[in-house]
Structure 1
């Protein structure tokens, strides 16, 4: 049997609560209790609410390690000359150089237009620009790596020369290599290095940070009938396995991030349960990236609203994620999301201003 810790009972401020609250992942959130979830054979067998005060009295070695990971500060990301602090939420802007992405496929006439859009996102407050050349929406077909490179390399080159911190959204080793040569300083892999066996070697050699995203099944079929006994526990264990595999292959732990993979082999209930339990993933000890922008769950909960009418739901998911300590929010609508997070940050700063 294994025990998991899900932070809950969040409080506005630690002042006056010495020993009664803990800081989540070195960020701007404090919590006063955890849900102790006991799991056997991949299923929950019991849950218990524990106050932070005196919690160390319940620790075995495994729980002590999880607690340390849960509360430890995340070091900043170094993307080339850009330093991305992770003690506060950051925005990653999406630039899809694809004809068939679910939200913005075919939006850009050429690489220059796509690079200009990415530069505008950076100007609006996006800390990282994520450039992709292959759609991985439900039902999407794989793209030949040569076409993918041709789509993204010129965009990455223009953005990086302009001073932007650029991530490449790809699952193929040759595309990763080309993207890094063009100036990408992070790789965002929706397969978590499972699609291409050579990818882990590329990342270990280059030592650029990598986002490992959970998925169930291939894009062509992942939404046909996704099933989980317990989605939060299964995603946690799967990501734990992928982190360990990456570290064993030579990727430094401080260059690994995770993404729970909203919409990638998950139905509406799975997505909502994952978002509600997101804080538990911090005990994996690495930064969390959340990409729920414009996803189908939002449409399903709002009268089947089309993709271009899902801003409100995207903001709701973004705020829910940062309230649980997510460090990076991957979005299409940068200006609006940055504005929402600045208001959220203002609220946090006021709460964290000592009154005495």
Structure 2
């Protein structure tokens, strides 16, 4: 299992907004993650917390591109966390090697085609709407079958656009248009996602369904979640703290 470290270069992300919102602080945190053994650094310049306002493409790019250029020089793989094809292309040009699109291509009609042209790995997440509206869309009959069906539509479009099958990574989108019971149902039935034949990324770090009144209070539960996934054929976990998760993987051997 790989450890994907979250680096939000934003003032308003739910768990660490403002902690790394300057170039200097973001680079310092990235280097710290590398020292702790991170496998991939996921850099984002736009918060996707519930209720968040979107930022302009220019603002997003000004936040992330200098940090990507600097950290990519270390040789550690960088992923760009963006819903915009333009930002993704500029990030890859700057040194990123993976596109992590929480909208799975739904937010930008050009995303799949752009990623296909770049020939890079692409994380396709289940998503129903932008942050302003996503909580109102957390309605399901059978959450697992519906999430898989909706993801399959985007997978088919991605493949049709020319993204290589072996470049696709899927993410069930914990917390995105999902209530706590939906997230737990997905985790309890995670095998139905791995059986689709694509690498699976899980991003549950410090999210509300883990309990606790603040993100920091959910760190222990996040570590427990990673531990529970060690034997579930998960490709990577996307987490805020690197060392405790890396230690679990290394000690699991």
Q: Which TM-score tier does this pair reach, normalised by the shorter chain?
A: over 0.9
Gaps of 5+ in 1: 1-88, 346-356
Q: Aligned pair 1:284/2:203, yes or no?
A: no
Partner SS state of residue 236, structure 1: helix
TM norm structure 2? 0.97
Q: Aligned pair 1:122/2:30, yes or no?
A: no
Matches within 5 A, 1:27-46: none
Q: Which residue of 1 aligns with 2:129?
A: 217
Q: Which residue of 1 aligns with 2:73?
A: 161
Separation of aligned partners in 1, 2:129 and 2:20: 29
State the Cα distance separating 1:146 from its structure 2 match. Answer: 0.3
Q: C-alpha offsets along residues 52-99 of structure 1, whole Å, 9 cap, x if unaligned?
A: xxxxxxxxxxxxxxxxxxxxxxxxxxxxxxxxxxxxx11000000001
Q: Which residue of 1 aligns with 2:115?
A: 203
Q: Which residue of 2 aligns with 1:312?
A: 220
Q: Which residue of 2 aligns with 1:148?
A: 60
State the Cα distance separating 1:341 from its structure 2 match. Answer: 2.1
Q: Aligned pair 1:342/2:250, yes or no?
A: yes
Q: Point out the structure with the larger helix share.
A: 2
Q: Which residue of 1 aligns with 2:93?
A: 181
Please tell me whether Structure 1 or Structure 2 has the larger radius of gyration of its CA atoms: 1
Q: C-alpha offsets along residues 151-202 of structure 1, whole Å, 9 cap, x if unaligned?
A: 0000000000122210000000111111111101000000001111111121
Q: Which residue of 1 aligns with 2:234?
A: 326
Q: CA RMSD in A?
A: 1.2
8 Å CA contact retained: 1:216, 1:266: no
Partner SS state of residue 146, structure 1: helix
State the Cα distance separating 1:344 from its structure 2 match. Answer: 2.5
Q: Point out the structure with the larger strand share.
A: 1
Q: Aligned pair 1:229/2:145, yes or no?
A: no
Q: C-alpha offsets along residues 209-254 of structure 1, whole Å, 9 cap, x if unaligned?
A: 1000002332112113511010011111122221111111100000
TM norm structure 1? 0.69
Distance change in 2, residues 1:198/1:333 (3 Å): same
